[in-house]
Amino acid sequence: MLPAGEQRNEIVKVLAEIPTTGGNSTQSAATEKTQTAAAPSSAQISGQITIDAKLKGSIDPNAALFIIARPAGAGGPPLAVKKIDKPVFPLTYSLSQENVMMQGTPFTGKINLTVRLDKDGNPVTRTPGDMTGDYKKNPVDVGAKKVDVVIDQVMR
């Protein structure tokens, strides 16, 4: 029932400032649910991916690019991944909630961002000749812009 865009964010902000009275937890829960649903569009990481000049001649034109976000300080599976077939560099990208691997997991917090140019397009295999790069200032907060990554390593 709320309008989209900035008007929705304004309404949610006003609703959050209204004090709850008489322990009406239903109103509080509804307000909290609305705030979660109205997550700002800033809940993404964006930037540009480039190839180090010394590696440009080694790019496989059929490779797939994987942009991988892992929670900082945590092991395990990636939080979010985006696959781009046959990328053209420089490539502008963004990662957001829609790229999260496990439904219901929020795209928030500090993230370690890496990219891999994968020759066989299979995210599970790592083969000689695949190329990688890390964001040099990892970890980065979700919401950051200009998170630029240079692919500068070749797997052996």
Predicted confidence (pLDDT) per residue in 94-130, tens digit:
999 999 999 889 999 999 999 999 999 988 888 999 9
For 29-147, list the strands marked E by DSSP.
Answer: 44-51, 64-71, 80-85, 91-96, 110-118, 131-134, 140-141
Total domains present in the chain? 2
Residue 147 has pLDDT above 70, yes or no: yes
Closest-CA residue to 135 (of 42, 43, 48, 41) = 48
Q: Which of 13-22, 90-99, 142-151 has the least mean pLDDT?
A: 13-22
**Residue-number span of the structural domain to which 117 is assigned:** 44-154
Here the tokens at position 143 are 């919401």
> Which residues face 92 on adjacent strands?
48
Q: Residue 58 domain-assigned?
A: yes
Does the reported pTM lie above 0.85?
no
Confidence check: pLDDT of 148 > 80: yes
Same-domain status, 58 and 118: yes
